[in-house]
Amino acid sequence: KQTLLPLLREETSSFIFPCKPALQRPERQYMVMELLRCIPLLLFLLFVCGLDHFIFSILSIIQHHSFIEYSYQTSHHLSVNVMGASLMAELLRSTIGALNTSFDTQMETSNFACLPQPTGMTRQQYLNTCLPLGVLALLCLAQVYPFRLRRAIAAFFFPKREKTRVLFLYNKLLRQRRNFLYLQRGRVARQAQQPPGLGTLLLQWCRRRWPWLRRCLRQRCTLCGTPETPRHQPCPNPDCSASYCESCW
């Protein structure tokens, strides 16, 4: 609860608040990991679609440039003429005359039946192929909101376990704050031992010379780096120009 342990600015980014509609930092990290897992599927899908288009292009080129058509045409005429009016001539005309034939042959053929008949995928088919991956990406973006209900469901069925978890979190935050204060004290002490730079000295001189410039030349909190506000507390040491926000102070 906020009245029991108000969170600092650095601590707020590590928690998930269920009532906030915006995606928060831990959720964004998990969401990015889930989206990265979709990249192999996307690459595989692009490879399959590219391979399909490549094979279709090759088969289409073979179909258009390997077509061969054959045309065969022949004529055959046989005519036997027996001259004369004798009995032998009549007999020969009746027997050999049956051999008189005449026919014309014309045949056209091609290798069309042996050529490939490729059929390319339409835009709608490509869209239907990529649609499941798009739905999967949308689920990766929307799954953070149902995941917020896990703690509430677990707390409803296991209230004693929920109290244990809250107590553990409370003690963990106290330990982190103690360690954070110890580390920040050392950092501020090392920073104070270093001589201020030319830009820092010029900024301090301008702030003392023209107090109305403080609205433009605002300092930042020494610990968290938030811009200066009226609630910021300056260091009581007159030789120190450090400023702290209300929570860090």
Half-sphere exposure of 68 (CA within 13 A, CB side): 4
How high is the pLDDT of residue 64? 87
**Which pair of tokens denotes residue 219?**
């300092």
Considering only CA atoms, which of 57, 174, 62 is closest in space to residue 119?
57
For residues 222 and 188, the answer to whether their CB atoms sit within 8 Å is: yes
The pLDDT assigned to 213 comes to 58
Euclidean distance between CA atoms 15 and 7, whole angstroms: 10
pLDDT of residue 184: 78
HSE-CB for 58 with a 13 A CA cutoff: 5
Side-chain-side CA neighbours of 212 within 13 Å: the count stands at: 0
Instruction: Give the pLDDT score at 18.
Output: 85
Q: What is the pLDDT of residue 157?
A: 94
Could you list the pLDDT tens digit for every one of the 249 residues in the chain? 666 777 877 778 888 888 888 888 888 888 999 999 999 999 999 999 999 999 999 999 998 888 888 888 888 887 777 777 777 877 877 777 777 778 888 888 888 888 888 888 888 999 999 999 999 999 988 888 899 999 889 999 999 999 999 899 889 988 888 887 788 788 777 777 776 666 666 666 666 666 655 566 567 777 776 777 777 777 777 777 677 777 777
Q: What contacts 111, CB < 8 A, 6 or more positions away?
A: 66, 67, 68
Residues 232 and 241 sit within 8 Å (Cβ to Cβ): no
pLDDT score for 12: 82
CB of 249 closer than 8 Å to CB of 242: no
Taking the C-alpha atoms of residue 249 and residue 144, their distance in angstroms, rounded to an integer, is: 35
Kindly state the helix (H) or strand (E) to which residue 243 belongs, with its residue range: strand 243-244
How do the domains of the chain map onto residue ranges? 21-70+109-157, 159-194, 199-248
Q: Which long-range contacts (CB under 8 A, 24 or more apart) does 83-91 make?
A: none
Q: How many CB atoms lie within 10 A of CB 206?
A: 14
Start-to-end C-alpha separation, the chain? 21
